[in-house]
Amino acid sequence: MANLNGFNASEVDPNVAFEPLPAGDYLAVVVASEMKPTKNGSGEYLQLELEVIEGPHKGRKVWDRLMLKHGNSQTVAIARGTLSALCRAAGVMQPKDSVELHNLPVVVKVATKKRDDTGELTNVVKGYAKKGAAGAVAPRPAAAGPGSTPPWKR
């Protein structure tokens, strides 16, 4: 049991369930980052927590996972390409620590997809671009076989 003496629910606004952000481009900043081991312990990924900083969804968060250590070299190449896009968007070309990418405004391309485990919609980060850059956000490379055409070039 836990002592909740002093808590009065009538004095606290209840949390409301959030729906995923609508697909689109959002100005956001990285507010937290951490290297984490994969479930099976054979690799590591950089988990990024991003917060939208303007517009009607200001304060909402999305997460990105970049599989930087993995047995599949293509998976690592995709993650490194995504990290490169984030670094270029943030203007930090050779970060020594992920904290150097924190609190720098970047445009994040967000999409939605169904979760495999629950079927519920969730957000996924599809790319990063520099704030104020003309044109679309650079898409995240799709996992594809050698010699195949990426989906955004088809």
Domains of the chain: 19-132 (2.40.50)
| Class of residue 7 by CB neighbours under 10 A (exposed 0-12, middle 13-18, buried 19+) | exposed
1 — pLDDT class (breaks 50, 70, 90): confident
Residue spans of alpha helices (H) in the chain: 73-90
Which pTM does this prediction carry? 0.78
pLDDT in tens, 31-86: 999 999 999 999 999 999 999 999 999 999 999 999 999 999 999 999 999 999 99
CA pair distance 6, 34, nearest whole angstrom: 35
Per the CB < 8 A criterion, the answer to whether 63 and 47 are in contact is: yes
Paired with 44 in beta bridges are 37, 69
**Within 13 Å of residue 15, how many CA atoms lie on the same side as its CB?**
3
pLDDT in tens, 111-131: 999 999 999 999 999 999 999
